[in-house]
Amino acid sequence: MKLLKTTFAALMVTSAAVTAAAACETTLRSSDTHPDGYPTVEAVKYIGEQLKEQTGDRLCIEVFHSAQLGEEKDTIEQTQFGVIDMNRVSLGPFNNIIEETQIPSLPYIFRSVEHMHTVMDGEIGQQILDAFSDHDLVGLAFYDGGSRSFYNSEKPIKSMDDLAGMKFRVMQSDMFVDMVSALGANATPMPYGEVYSSIQTGVIDGAENNWPSYDSSGHFEVAKYYTLDQHLIVPEVLVMAKSSFEKLSAEDQELIKQIAKDSVPVMRELWEAREKESEARVREAGVEIVTDIDKTPFIEAMAPVYEKYVTSDKLKAMVEAIQATE
Ligand code: GTR
């Protein structure tokens, strides 16, 4: 029923898209949970502008930002069904569906954002993009999601012990539930759009995210303690519905793949600037930020998570390859 409802909502917005981009022969609808102006939204708009120009108005993209088409988990299903043509999401909500996406979502798998870039721009990244094709999707590009850290409404967290018994929202991924449990806290998976009110009403004590999301979601208003433990550097991904992709000519398929790749450095530049802006805005608002946290116990606590999720030879080889990447 929920799917039917959201599908109906998506179809309603379709007619709006057709009107908005009336000049185009084909308009692809793309979903994003973030507000207009957010780096991911702007990166997909960039792809749309390039496509429109390079196809002489044959092919356009309309980005439905601010979760207009629904929350990530639902929009992923709709993209698999071809109701939504394109979708920019975190890899987190793919973890339960596509096992390869768990690897770059593992806590502390990347030593730095640069390490993540090298891995995702290389063979491992391609292997993960290819894995989407068994799930009615085409993986187009990876985007940045910075590093994610815990924030809460109760107290400054200065060590792992301070997390004991606290309740945090995580993305809808079993692995993230286990990650939080391994740190001694409790996790509640829930859609992004429900986090603000859940913190406000005390259903949860906090959540975890990067600077731009902490800022644009307004979560900093209700969860004023942010501890930079940086447990995740989970990339984001732009996917396309396989059915929509297959409707395109071979040339257009190549073009969209190429422009999506070209959008990566554009996004990274926007991201870097946005991270600084968001950090400044949040600091200005008086948030208490803990920066000098010893990450060693956090990293050590993740052993059972790796044990539970890195099971097959294929996944083990991916982890080893990432660890061996300079
Ligand atoms: C953001 C990410 C979104 C979404 C959100 C969340 O950092 O860009 O795609 O996954 O986090 O926590 O749900």
Using H for helix, E for strand and C for coil, what is the string for the chain? CHHHHHHHHHHHHHHHHHHHCCCCCEEEEEECCCCCCCHHHHHHHHHHHHHHHHCCCCEEEEEECCCCCCCHHHHHHHHHHCCCCEEEEECHHHCCCCHHHHCCCCCCCCCCHHHHHHHHHCHHHHHHHHHHHHHCEEEEEEECCCCEEEEECCCCCCCHHHHCCCEEEECCCHHHHHHHHHCCCEEEECCHHHHHHHHHCCCCCEEEECHHHHHHCCHHHHCCEEEEEEEECCCEEEEEEHHHHHCCCHHHHHHHHHHHHHHHHHHHHHHHHHHHHHHHHHHHCCCEEECCCCCHHHHHCCHHHHHHHCCCHHHHHHHHHHHHCC
> Do 2-144+235-277 and 148-233+289-324 come out as alike in CATH topology?
yes
CA-closest residue to ligand 1 atom 4: 90
- Residue among 89, 171, 237, 275 to mutate when testing ligand 1 (max atoms within 8 A of CB): 171
Instruction: Report which ligand 1 atom has the smallest distance to the Cα of 40.
Output: 8
Mean pLDDT of the chain: 94
Length of the chain: 326
Q: How far is the CA of 270 from the centre of ligand 1 (A)?
A: 17
Provide CATH code, domain 148-233+289-324: 3.40.190.170
pTM: 0.93
Ligand 1 neighbour 89 (Cβ under 6 A): yes
Establish whether residue 147 lines the binding site of ligand 1, counting it when its CB lies within 6 angstroms of any ligand atom.
Answer: no
Q: Considering only CA atoms, which residue is closest to atom 10 of ligand 1? A: 90
Query: What pLDDT shows up at residue 23?
Result: 81
- pLDDT recorded at residue 12: 52
Q: Which is the closest atom of ligand 1 to the Cα of 92?
A: 10
Split at pLDDT 50, 70, 90, the class of 93 is: very high
Domain boundaries, the chain: 2-144+235-277, 148-233+289-324
Average the pLDDT over each of 19-23, 120-124, 205-209 and give the range with the smallest value: 19-23
CA 226 / ligand 1 centre spacing (Å): 17
Per CATH, the architecture of 2-144+235-277 is what? 3-Layer(aba) Sandwich (3.40)
Chain segment 260-283, per-residue pLDDT in tens: 999 999 999 999 999 999 999 999
Which atom of ligand 1 is closest in space to residue 212's alpha carbon? 7
Q: Is pLDDT at 62 greater than 50 in this prediction?
A: yes
236 lines ligand 1 (CB under 6 A): yes
Q: What is the reported pLDDT for 248?
A: 97
Q: What's the CA-to-centroid distance between 213 and ligand 1, angstroms?
A: 7
Band (1; pLDDT cuts 50, 70, 90): very low
Q: Is the CB of 144 under 6 A from ligand 1?
A: no
pLDDT, one tens digit per residue, over 160-205 is 999 999 999 999 999 999 999 999 999 999 999 999 999 999 999 9
